[in-house]
Structure 1
Amino acid sequence: MKIYIFNPDTDMALAHNEAHYMAPSSIRGMEHDLALLPIWYARCDTAVLAPSAYNARYLQAMQQLFRLPVRLVTEPELASLPDAELEPWGWNPAFRKRMLAAGVGEERLWTQERIALYRECSSRAYALAVSDGFEKRVDSVQICGRHILVDGAKLKGDPIPKEIADSPDGYLFKSVWSSSGKGLRWCLHGFTEADRAWCLREVEVHKSVILEPIYKKVGDFAMEFFIDEAGKVSFCGYSHFVTDWKGAYQGNLLEPDEEVERWILQYVPQETLVAVRRNLQSMLEKLYGGKYTGHLGVDMMVCPDQGGYPYAIHPHVEVNLRMTMGMVARVFYNRFVACGSKGIFRVDGFRTNEALQELHTQNSKEGPLVLEAGKIVSGYLPLVPVTPQSRSLAYVKIEKVG
Structure 2
Amino acid sequence: MTLHIFNPSHDEALAAHTAHYCPSRPARQLAHALAELPLLWAAEGDVCLRLPASGGTEGVEVPDWTAVERIEPWGWDRHIVGLLRRLGAPERLLPSDERLCALRRMSSRETGVRWAEGLHVDDLPGVVKPRAVFCTSTAAAVEAARAMDGRAMMKQPWSCSGRGVWPFADDAACRRRIDKAVRLQGGVEVQARCEGLLDAAMEFTVDADGRVHFEGLSLFTTAPGGAYGGNLTAHPDRLRRTWLDCAAKAGCPLSETVLETLIERTAARLEACYGAGQADETMRYVGPLGVDVLGAREGWLPYVEINLRRTMGHVALAVGARFSPDRPPRLLRVADDGLHLDEWDEA
Q: Give yes or no for TM over 0.5.
A: yes
> 3-state DSSP class of the match of 2:100?
helix
1:178 paired residue number: 159
* 1:143 is the counterpart of 2:127: yes
User: Does structure 1 retain, via aligned residues, the 8 Å contact 2:198–2:247?
Assistant: no
Alpha-carbon distance in structure 1 between the residues aligned to 2:86 and 2:24: 20
Q: State the TM-score, normalized to the length of structure 1.
A: 0.75
How much does 1:127 deviate? 0.7
* 1:396 is the counterpart of 2:315: no
* 1:243 is the counterpart of 2:188: no
User: Does structure 2 retain, via aligned residues, the 8 Å contact 1:231–1:285?
Assistant: yes
Q: State the TM-score, normalized to the length of structure 2.
A: 0.86
Structure 1 residue identity aligned to 2:114:
A
How much does 1:51 deviate? 6.2
2:278 paired residue number: none
User: Does structure 2 retain, via aligned residues, the 8 Å contact 1:82–1:105?
Assistant: no
Which of residues 304, 315, 321 is equivalent to 1:317? 304
Shift in alpha-carbon separation, 1:265–1:8, aligned structure 2, 3 A: closer
Instruction: Map 1:114-153 to 2 at 5 A.
Output: 114-134=99-119, 136=120, 138-144=122-128, 145-152=130-137
Structure 1 residue identity aligned to 2:304:
V
How much does 1:243 deviate? 0.9
Q: Structure 2: which 5+ residue stretches go unaligned?
A: 53-58, 276-280
2:315 paired residue number: 328
Shift in alpha-carbon separation, 1:179–1:221, aligned structure 2, 3 A: same
Residues 224-243 of structure 1, C-alpha deviations (whole Å, 9 max, x = no match) = 00000000000001111111
Shift in alpha-carbon separation, 1:197–1:23, aligned structure 2, 3 A: same
Residues 321-377 of structure 1, C-alpha deviations (whole Å, 9 max, x = no match) = 0010111011101125674232110123xxxxxxxxxxxxxxxxxxxxxxxxxxxxx
1:91 paired residue number: 76
Instruction: Map 1:101-250 to 2 at 5 A.
Output: 101-134=86-119, 136=120, 138-144=122-128, 145-152=130-137, 154-155=139-140, 158-165=142-149, 170-187=151-168, 190-250=169-229
Structure 2 residue identity aligned to 1:270:
E
1:297 paired residue number: 290
How much does 1:264 deviate? 5.8
Q: Structure 1: which 5+ residue stretches go unaligned?
A: 53-73, 307-311, 349-390
| Number of residues of Structure 1 aligned to a counterpart in Structure 2 | 325
2:244 paired residue number: 262
How much does 1:162 deviate? 4.3
How much does 1:259 deviate? 2.0
User: Does structure 1 retain, via aligned residues, the 8 Å contact 2:230–2:334?
Assistant: yes
Structure 2 residue identity aligned to 1:303:
A
Structure 1 residue identity aligned to 2:73:
P
Alpha-carbon distance in structure 1 between the residues aligned to 2:28 and 2:286: 26
Alpha-carbon distance in structure 2 between the residues aligned to 1:149 and 1:399: 38
Alpha-carbon distance in structure 2 between the residues aligned to 1:50 and 1:279: 38
How much does 1:137 deviate? 5.7
2:269 paired residue number: 283
Alpha-carbon distance in structure 2 between the residues aligned to 1:253 and 1:158: 37
Alpha-carbon distance in structure 1 between the residues aligned to 2:343 and 2:325: 9
> 3-state DSSP class of the match of 1:117?
helix
Alpha-carbon distance in structure 1 between the residues aligned to 2:345 and 2:25: 38
How much does 1:31 deviate? 1.1
